[in-house]
Chain A
Amino acid sequence: MSGYVLLEDGTRLDGDVCAARRPVTGEVVFNTAMSGYQEAVTDPSYAGQILIFTAPHVGNYGVSAEAMESDRVHARAAIMRAAVNQEDAPCAERGWLDWLEDCDVPAITGVDTRALVRHIRDRGAMRGGVFPDSVPEAEARALIDAEPPMAGRDLAREVTPGEAIVLEPLGAGPAPGVGPRIVAIDTGIKTSIVTNLRKRGAVVELHPCSATAEELLARDADAYFLANGPGDPAALDHIVGTVRELVGKRPVFGICLGHQLLCRAVGLETFKLPFGHRGSNHPVKDLTTGRIEITSQNHGFAVLGPDGARTMDTDDPVRWDTDFGAAELTHLNLYDRTVEGLTLLDVPGSTVQYHPEAGPGPHDALYLFDRFLEAIRAAA
């Protein structure tokens, strides 16, 4: 069935709708990873977004339970050049398009995704939608206009669990009650993060993002974890306030949205990137070791550097003054030289903007989980 992608600036590209055949709107963003489509769409950070895959072939190896990054699809829709179902792939438990349809997620294929990505790269991420041809363009445009812009949007509420969940360590970890207890504010945490913590012997508690500081402090955690998640960190002052109460009490580690929330909690600012970082190939330099890691990325906002700079012009570990003392730049994006991670020098806390847990993507930064666990041990 023919359909089309329409952007808020009127750009239209045609394709064939597949999976769920209903109109859908959201912020249109692109991901340059060449594998990991199922992990991507189930990553809660994509809530509210329509995902363009720059890799032309999507669906080649079907879908499987192992590749779920949460319990459901969070991306609003998928835009692809050449999607296939491929239910007969050797490890497939279900075909990709069948599964999207099961999940009531619309998708479109046959789209000149490169032309669309070039447009977004030049003009910035914008609202848009995927529509079957049966939806007239005027109607589609009205639907897009009704979609709130991403800046200022609190989407964490939509993906956070209703109540706390406690997860025991995985594998041959320490005996129950021996490993550290990590309390996480679940703004849409990816399964890979939880798995990486549990595999290292931690008990992980996932709390709704509405949990108060008192409630969290009452858990007597060994450390706090601030998760990834969707939306604009500037719209999450309610969580930022909670985090501010936790800083300095126990080691804190944040990833992606969690990084932004911790930074805001200590008084730093965030801003919206023109079209974000989404993919599996961004080089990030660990300024503490000089090593470069290839990273998994998925964020539309970033933290401002010292003096409000969006990009760093040196590879030095520059410092900020925060409400909790000094912070030092630890990780730098070598593509656009934006902040990718920092550490608080006077209180135990560190964060990264990217995704050390991979899922999908390279495993180069898994060491950060070890560092976190070491920091917990050191603070104990």
Chain B
Amino acid sequence: MLLGSGPIVIGQAAEFDYSGTQACKVLREEGYEIVLVNSNPATIMTDPEFADATYVEPLLPGPVAQVIEKERPDALLPTLGGGTALNLARILHEDGTLERHGVELIGADYDAIARAEDRDLFRETMHGAGLRVPRSAIATTLAEAEAARDDIGLPVIVRPAFTLGGWGGGVATTPAQFREVVSRGLAASPIGQVLLDESVLGWGEFELEVMRDRNDNVVIVCSIENLDPMGVHTGDSVCVAPQQTLSDRQYQRLRDQAIAAIRAVGVETGGSNVQFAVNPATDEIVVIEMNPRVSRSSALASKATGFPIAKIAARLAVGYALEEIDNDITRRTPASFEPAIDYTVVKWPRFAFEKFPGIDPELTTHMKSVGEAMAIGRTFQQAFAKALRSRELDAPARLEGLGLDELLDRASTAGPDRFDIVLEALRRGADREDLHARTSIDPWFLRELAELAADPEAPFAGTRTYKAVDTCAAEFEAQTPYFYSSWERSGASEVRRGENPSVVILGAGPNRIGQGIEFDYCCVHAAMEVRASGREAVMVNCNPETVSTDYDTSDRLYFEPLTLEDVLGVLEVERPEGVIVTFGGQTPLKLAAALAEAGAPLLGTSVESIDLAEDRGRFSGLLAQLGLQAPPYATAHGIDEALARAPEVGFPLLVRPSYVLGGRAMEIVYDLDGLADYLFRHAAANGDGKAIFLDRFLENAIEVDVDALCDGERAYVGGVMQHVEEAGIHSGDSACVLPPHSLGEEMLAALHEQTRAIALGLGVVGLLNVQYAVHGDRLYVIEANPRASRTVPFVSKATGVPLAKLACRIMLGAKIDELDLPPESRPLGHVSVKEAVLPFDRFAGTDPLMGPEMRSTGEVMGVAPDFPAAFAKAQAAAGAQLPATGTVFITVTDTDKPAASTVAAQFHDLGFRVVATSGTAQAISRMGVPVTTLNKLGEGSPHVVDWIENGDVDMVINTPVGTGARVDGYEIRSAAVARGIPCITTLSGGIAAARAIAAARHGDPEVLSLQEIHARVDGVGAPA
């Protein structure tokens, strides 16, 4: 049994899909039957073909125990699913589940997990091995912490035990800060424990990726050095591999200590990463932490070196020794070696602070980035510059207006744009010693950056050549073609292209909000299908976390930024038969027109059709021609025109700038004042005559997403999803249900018919996603995207029809008639719910409120025989386990008050105590439902937030009034998020929750594998 890591959240991203998928592949090769549990439908590992039994179930002890009971696995391998899987394994050991069912824990045993994860035990273990760790203390109360502070001295680093990515921790430099951070950390730790560490701020930060086999052979796969010194979470740091600034003598000491650490912790087989702080001036080394499992850094190290850590860890876990495993890349040397690399790798975190106004963008020990980009170059400058452009920022850092002194001041604090600032300061001649004093960045990096700042083009002088990643610095001939571009004085590319036709698939770049792992899933499916067609699949991508950048996924992998120039370079070498730009989200789609112009043979939907769908004027003409309705809209150029045209469209209005990803800067405004306020706040995005879109917002409409295939002549509706939240919540943040739970036959027929009309009208060849709003009995088309959508993996898992692969086959020339597709509207016999996972718990100070702007980082899926049970599973998987009983607090806007009483009645009937603030309470009691009235914030203690903070509320239903204003709602939602209490911000969500709680009373729903579900569905087996 393998456990995945669940939804993509900050600190735990696609890297665990990569590692889990690799493990599934090799363990099946070895003849094992795989039982997999992961709640994230957007992963490749949960494709039914990767395991024998795939459970898309919440990663919680209950459901996992149910799966164990049903499947009776022989062993549990918990080291490939991040902290989630490891913690789950710990719980299943402690509660006796594993022992009861005779399940052996492999990869890392319980004691080793405890020695690495429990701070106190870890310190003891390191001391026992003769290694130094920062002075520290453990505290379980604030008083204990304050006593320890006097010994350690400020600044102190606070880390909660057993949390992901250092969540809930921070650095305290003043006594007041200390109290604040410790309190937060104690609340965040599931065992109510924090570790207080001596600050080693400013020391160099290094990580070593270590592997150990059953014969106690240990190798270091890769060293990673952070450009940001200690103090910034390693996930938020710009990193370079291999390490650059330590001498051999210093490096070998780290190597010795890493080996001593893995032995002492007792990870018997598999990978670990050990993190060190090194004081470059005194040579002091301290061990910071160790993960006894595959981690984010392991994914980076695997991609950086070509050494497939997860694959090898899985083989080691089932008893192989390193020397018995071949190095896939050379195919003639064993895996018991240390990769030698003759290039430089730079990783850049990708942040999304623009999505969360009001939060502090300072980088600390608390991880805040949402994704990462990696670049490979021969030299650091090549790699750094490529990584800079791989980030694909929505807008460059705005530094022109700042004086050098301001730049230097800002460089002193680590923020998301620190290196943009450092480069700009160096370009303007800042003194390197001064910068070093302010930032503690090693002089070698500063010298390299100064050269890059002086001439950003210099590293790219000469000829572009493609070189191979071969694990051995060219000592042996490489078999696995994994390439990067390098600029040299002369020279030929190492790519041996062969004669087979190839198809280039452009990936999605770094994960960010609005463009996540779903698109990588589609690209991987495209690669599989291209290979199945007898062509060679060629992947271009720059995201080290993903399955698409596994060299096994395609025939050739180019680890490159997804810019026009970089892609054209690859096309020149590849001379492909086709290029796929519609599977990787906006990143490759943005390049479509320019690539077509450069003569690239784009497959599937034409650039002309993409434009027809994206150009609002043309698209609305098409809808009119097809006789379909769309909400009234206008496009304005500039603020004045927007204000003038708004009344024609009618309020409420959905307003946004013309170029958006994930609903960036999109808001609903209810009147001219609101519009003016919006335009003023977003003047930068809307000024200079840039287009502003004004759409009539259909209040209380039901939103529907449809994913379809089209070959240009025939269309096939793959799935219809009804959103749980009403229109106005970004589709990426809304829960949705497949099949729709409350749409009539006629409406469903209309959805199918209109989708078909749009697909054919646009001339789609491949995938199409259409968003609709159902308002009363009328159907409105909101938008159509002729490309892979975020919901493709969910639909494919829910229905067993692999849409992305089928679309790829169509793009390669197949017709829908040849695809042997099941009937469109066949009964499924089960209901699937997709729920979004939001990162509000990581961003203190942001309003945990959904709206037209997408903010979720990931998603989960719940499958059950009916909607309420599926919804409950999805909620539990998303981390908001609904209470079985207790107190529900309801406070809603005036317009929602009539409906609020219905929700209140449902909770009352379920035996909940209903509490509300005065207005809502009045509405509820008018309908005869007993309710307790609580004070609002301004009405004195104990008020509603006191109730929540005291743990007297088990669930919050709060519908918002407007956005941005610091009203009660904000305080309420923040308090709920801080306590981990489910907080539902729509009434329809509240109703669904009540139904789910009622359903849960009938006992835990059965766990069903995707293979069983798909086999049950009429007329279809498991998808190929």
> Which residues of A are at the interface with B, using a C-beta cutoff of 8 A?
13-15, 30, 32-36, 39, 54-57, 60-61, 64, 66-67, 81-82, 84, 86, 88-91, 110-115, 117-118, 121, 279-283, 285, 290-292, 294, 334-335, 358-363
Q: Is the CB of A281 within 8 A of B340?
A: yes
From A36, A88, A113, A281, B443 is in contact (CB under 8 Å) with: A88
A55 contact set on B, CB distance < 8 A = 242, 340-342, 473
Q: Is the CB of B252 within 8 A of A361?
A: yes
Report the separation of the CA atoms of residues A118 and B465 in the bound assembly, to the nearest whole angstrom.
Answer: 14
Given A54-B473, A117-B474, A291-B216; A64-B337 close (CB under 8 Å): no
Given A89-B443, A91-B283; A32-B475 close (CB under 8 Å): yes
Q: Is the CB of A82 within 8 A of B336?
A: no
A13 contact set on B, CB distance < 8 A = 489-490
Output the nearest chain B residue to A366 by Cβ-Cβ distance: B256
Number of A-B contacts (CB under 8 A): 161
Q: Is the CB of A66 within 8 A of B474?
A: no
Q: Is the CB of B247 within 8 A of A114?
A: no
Q: Is the CB of A279 within 8 A of B247?
A: no
Q: Is the CB of B252 within 8 A of A358?
A: yes
Interface residue tally on B, bucketed by range = 35 or more
Report the separation of the CA atoms of residues A84 and B447 in the bound assembly, to the nearest whole angstrom.
Answer: 10
Q: Is the CB of B380 within 8 A of A14?
A: no
A115 contact set on B, CB distance < 8 A = 488, 491
Report the separation of the CA atoms of residues A57 and B381 in the bound assembly, to the nearest whole angstrom.
Answer: 11
Query: Is B922 at the interface (CB under 8 A from chain A)?
Result: no
CB of B271, distance to nearest CB on chain A (Å)? 16
> Which residues of B are at the interface with A, using a C-beta cutoff of 8 A?
215-217, 219-220, 242-252, 255-256, 280-281, 283, 322-323, 333-334, 336-344, 378-380, 442-444, 447, 465, 467, 472-477, 486, 488-491, 494
Q: Is the CB of A363 within 8 A of B256?
A: yes
Q: Is the CB of B249 within 8 A of A66?
A: yes
B473 contact set on A, CB distance < 8 A = 30, 32, 54-55, 114, 117, 279
Mostly helix, strand, loop or mixed at chain A's interface?
A: loop
Q: Is the CB of B379 within 8 A of A56?
A: yes
Q: Is the CB of A54 within 8 A of B340?
A: yes
20 A-B interface contacts by CB (under 8 A): A33-B248, A34-B340, A35-B248, A54-B340, A54-B474, A55-B473, A61-B245, A86-B443, A86-B444, A89-B442, A112-B490, A112-B491, A114-B486, A121-B477, A279-B475, A280-B338, A281-B472, A294-B337, A334-B336, A361-B248
A114 contact set on B, CB distance < 8 A = 342, 378, 467, 473-474, 486
Output the nearest chain B residue to A117 by Cβ-Cβ distance: B474
Report the separation of the CA atoms of residues A112 and B487 in the bound assembly, to the nearest whole angstrom.
Answer: 9
Q: Is the CB of A67 within 8 A of B443?
A: no
Given A64-B247, A90-B280, A334-B333; A56-B343 close (CB under 8 Å): yes
Q: Is the CB of B255 within 8 A of A334?
A: no
Report the separation of the CA atoms of residues A13 and B473 in the bound assembly, to the nearest whole angstrom.
Answer: 18
Report the separation of the CA atoms of residues A57 and B340 in the bound assembly, to the nearest whole angstrom.
Answer: 13
Q: Is the CB of A335 within 8 A of B337?
A: yes
Report the separation of the CA atoms of residues A66 and B247 in the bound assembly, to the nearest whole angstrom.
Answer: 11
Report the separation of the CA atoms of residues A13 and B490 in the bound assembly, to the nearest whole angstrom.
Answer: 8
Report the separation of the CA atoms of residues A72 and B631 in the bound assembly, to the nearest whole angstrom.
Answer: 81
CB of B208, distance to nearest CB on chain A (Å)? 12
Given A35-B246, A86-B444, A112-B490; A81-B337 close (CB under 8 Å): no
Report the separation of the CA atoms of residues A324 and B583 in the bound assembly, to the nearest whole angstrom.
Answer: 70
A64 contact set on B, CB distance < 8 A = 247
CB of B84, distance to nearest CB on chain A (Å)? 33
Report the separation of the CA atoms of residues A113 and B336 in the bound assembly, to the nearest whole angstrom.
Answer: 26
B256 contact set on A, CB distance < 8 A = 363
Q: Is the CB of A281 within 8 A of B337?
A: yes
Q: Is the CB of A82 within 8 A of B281?
A: no
Q: Is the CB of A89 within 8 A of B444?
A: yes
From A60, A67, A121, A334, B249 is in contact (CB under 8 Å) with: A67
CB of B300, distance to nearest CB on chain A (Å)? 17
A35 contact set on B, CB distance < 8 A = 243, 246-248, 251
Q: Which 6 A-B pairs have the closest CB atoms?
A: A36-B248, A360-B248, A90-B280, A54-B473, A32-B340, A35-B248
Report the separation of the CA atoms of residues A90 and B250 in the bound assembly, to the nearest whole angstrom.
Answer: 12
B488 contact set on A, CB distance < 8 A = 112, 115
Report the separation of the CA atoms of residues A361 and B340 in the bound assembly, to the nearest whole angstrom.
Answer: 12
Identify which of B247, B337, B443 gathers the most chain A CB atoms within 10 Å of its CB: B247
Given A86-B444, A112-B488, A114-B467; A281-B251 close (CB under 8 Å): no
In the complex, given contacts A14-B489, A91-B283, A117-B475, what are 16 additional A-B residue pairs having Cβ atoms less than 8 angstroms apart?
A30-B473, A33-B248, A56-B343, A56-B379, A60-B245, A61-B245, A81-B378, A82-B378, A86-B444, A112-B489, A112-B491, A121-B475, A121-B477, A290-B215, A294-B220, A334-B336
Q: Is the CB of B245 within 8 A of A89?
A: yes
A283 contact set on B, CB distance < 8 A = 219, 323, 333-334, 336-337
Output the nearest chain A residue to B383 by Cβ-Cβ distance: A56
B379 contact set on A, CB distance < 8 A = 56-57, 81-82
A34 contact set on B, CB distance < 8 A = 242, 340-341
CB of B975, distance to nearest CB on chain A (Å)? 47
Report the separation of the CA atoms of residues A360 and B340 in the bound assembly, to the nearest whole angstrom.
Answer: 14
From A33, A88, A91, A112, B247 is in contact (CB under 8 Å) with: A91
Q: Is the CB of B334 within 8 A of A90?
A: no
From A15, A54, A279, A335, B333 is in contact (CB under 8 Å) with: A335
Q: Is the CB of A110 within 8 A of B489?
A: yes
CB of A329, distance to nearest CB on chain B (Å)? 16
B380 contact set on A, CB distance < 8 A = 56-57, 82
